[in-house]
Every structure is written in C-alpha cells, then in structure tokens.
Amino acid sequence: MDDINKYTVDLDDGRTATCIRGDRIDYVDGVFEAGIVENLPPETHYLRIEKGDDLKVIFLRQDEFFAIQLVMSSVNFSFEMLDKAD
C-alpha cells in the first residue's frame, strides 16, 4: 500500500489485517503505535509496540482497547496521588 498510515500485516493463520494508523510516537529505542484494524472481526483496534529488536502487534476488540487505556491511566493517576501524599 502506498499510504504510510495504512498497511497490511500477514497473520500466521493466513489472514491479512489492514491497519490504519491513528497515532505513532517514535522513541529513541522504540515505537508506540495504535489504530484501527479492518477486516479482522471481532478485533477492531491494534496496538504495536517496538522496543529494541522486540516487536509486538496485538489485535483487540474495542472494549479491550479501552480497558488497556483505562488501566494505563489509572496507574499514572495512582502513582501521582501517592507522590502527593508523601
């Protein structure tokens, strides 16, 4: 595909997922990326984490995607509250 924000991923089971990048953050030693995945129901979202030589792409349902977002935010909030309590 010509669009840098839309690409395909070939899965081990023979299916092909079309990923549409929503956001990407490039770090010194890695990349964090998330977006929408087409043609892979019931999964509708993906999370791509690349750190050093390790690459993980996880396909998620919408509720799972939001659950991860909530858990990550909750951890940050909890630690901020602990710091303020000291």
DSSP 44-60: -EEEEEEETTEEEEEEE
Q: What is the pLDDT of residue 1?
A: 47
Q: What is the pLDDT of residue 85?
A: 61
Q: How far apart are CA 21 and CA 70, in angstroms?
A: 20
Please list the pLDDT of the chain residue by residue as tens digits (86 residues). Answer: 457 799 999 999 999 999 999 999 999 999 999 999 999 999 999 999 999 999 999 999 999 999 999 998 888 777 666 666 66
Cβ contacts of residue 27 below 8 Å, gap of 6+? none
Note the pTM of the prediction, 2 decimals. Answer: 0.80
